[in-house]
Structure 1
Amino acid sequence: MQFNFDEFEDLIVSQTTISDSEIIFTPSLLVNTINQNFNYNYPLITISGEVANFKINQNKFVFFDIKDSNSTVNCFMMLFAMKMPIQDGMQIIAKVEPKITDWGKFNLTVKEIKPVGEGNIKKSLDIIKDKLAKEGIFDQSRKRLIPRSSNNIAVISSTEAAGYADFIKIINERWGGIKIRVAHTQVQGESASKQIINAVNYFNQVQDLPDLIVIIRGGGSANDLMAFNDELLARTIAGSRVPVITGIGHEIDCTLSDLAADFAGSTPSNVAQIITRDRQDEIIYLNNYINNFSKKIVHILDEKKNEINITINNIHSYIMHNIDNELHNLNSKIRLLDNLNPQKVLSQGYALVRGRVEINSIIDIETNSNIIKAEVKDVTTK
Structure 2
Amino acid sequence: MTANYLSVTLLTGYIARKFNADPYLKKVYVQGELSNFKRQASGHLYFTLKDDKSQIRTVMFAKAAQTIGFQPEDGMKVLISGRIDVYERGGNYQFYAQEMQPDGVGALFVRFEQLKKMLTDQGVFSEAHKQPLPAYPQRVGVITSPTGAAVRDIMTTLKRRSPQTDIILFPAAVQGDQAIVEVARQIKRADQFEPPLDVLIVGRGGGSIEDLWAFNEEQVVRAIYEAKVPIISAVGHETDTTLSDYVADYRAATPTAAAEIAVKQTVELLTTIQHQQQRLTDSLKNVLADKKQRLAHYQERLARQQPQRLIEQQYQQLDNYQQRLIAALKARVTAQRFSFERLSWQLQQTNPQARIQRGQEQLEQQTLNLVKAYRAQLEHKRLTLSHKINQIESLSPLQVMQRGFSLVETKTGTVLNKVTDVALNEAVRIRMRDGVLTATVTKKEMSAHGSSKNSKL
| TM-score higher than 0.5 | no
Which protein has the bigger helix share? 2
Higher relative contact order (CA 8 A, sep 6+): 1
TM-score range (shorter-chain normalised) is 0.3 to 0.5
The normalised TM-score by structure 2 is 0.37
